[in-house]
Amino acid sequence: MRKSSMRKLLLGAGVSMLMVAGSAMAAYNTPAKAKGLKLDLAVAYNTCGAPNDTSGSAPPLPACHPAVPTTNTNGTHKVSYGLKGAANLQVGVATGDIKIGVKSADIDDNGVLIADGQQLGLHLDHAVATTTNCASADPGGCSTQDLGLLFSNVFKAGCLKGKCTLKTTVNTVTPGQITAGAKVNITISGLGLSDQDGDLAFSEGLFIP
């Protein structure tokens, strides 16, 4: 076979392989790595709806006063940080499961240390799972409806001596939600902790002293 013919044959094979690989990737794209999140939690405040103030920034931003913590929406429980208050939340990939962890300290309820046995719920605004584990066996996978309403406050952090903690997995609390061997891509937003009334108390964020 002539060299020019061989080059054409190899080039054609290479293009075909790229097309097949491209088609496979387009069917179900995955990241090279997305194994965990670790978030510090700041106090959640209501969004300013009708500005009656401005911030001290340059340029100034529309603002509302006074700032109203979201936990105040239902008044039975108003959860806040004490002087040494802090909280963080971790989620990570386990084998065929998702690990969930919450650590916090100096949590107050209505201005005093939160009572032993009280629980704060794991809050999430939105979550959509894209998975290969579909009844249709569609090679492009399937995506769920927004899971925020279904799973917000299902996972509970128990409180003792002002520390509300949680260490569990998704399948421990809701068995069968994560299937080993399936490719699951989950997008999550609005992670935080809700008070006993179901109001958002702490949300992923930053505090700048």
Mean pLDDT confidence for 121-134: 94
Give the count of beta carbons closer than 10 Å to the beta carbon of residue 202.
32
pLDDT given at position 28: 67
By the 8 A CB rule, do 107 and 87 touch? yes
Give the count of beta carbons closer than 10 Å to the beta carbon of residue 6.
10
Domain positions in the chain are: 1-29, 31-204
Confidence of residue 181 (pLDDT cuts 50, 70, 90): confident
CB neighbour list of residue 204: distance below 8 Å, 6 or more residues apart: 39, 40, 41, 42, 89, 190, 191, 192
191 pLDDT higher than 50: yes
- Cα 160 to Cα 105, 107, 149, 187, 194: the distances in Å are 10, 10, 27, 31, 17
pLDDT given at position 30: 83
pTM score of the predicted model: 0.84
**pLDDT digit string, tens, across residues 12-58:** 444 333 333 444 444 667 888 999 999 999 999 999 999 999 999 99
% of the chain at pLDDT higher than 90: 79
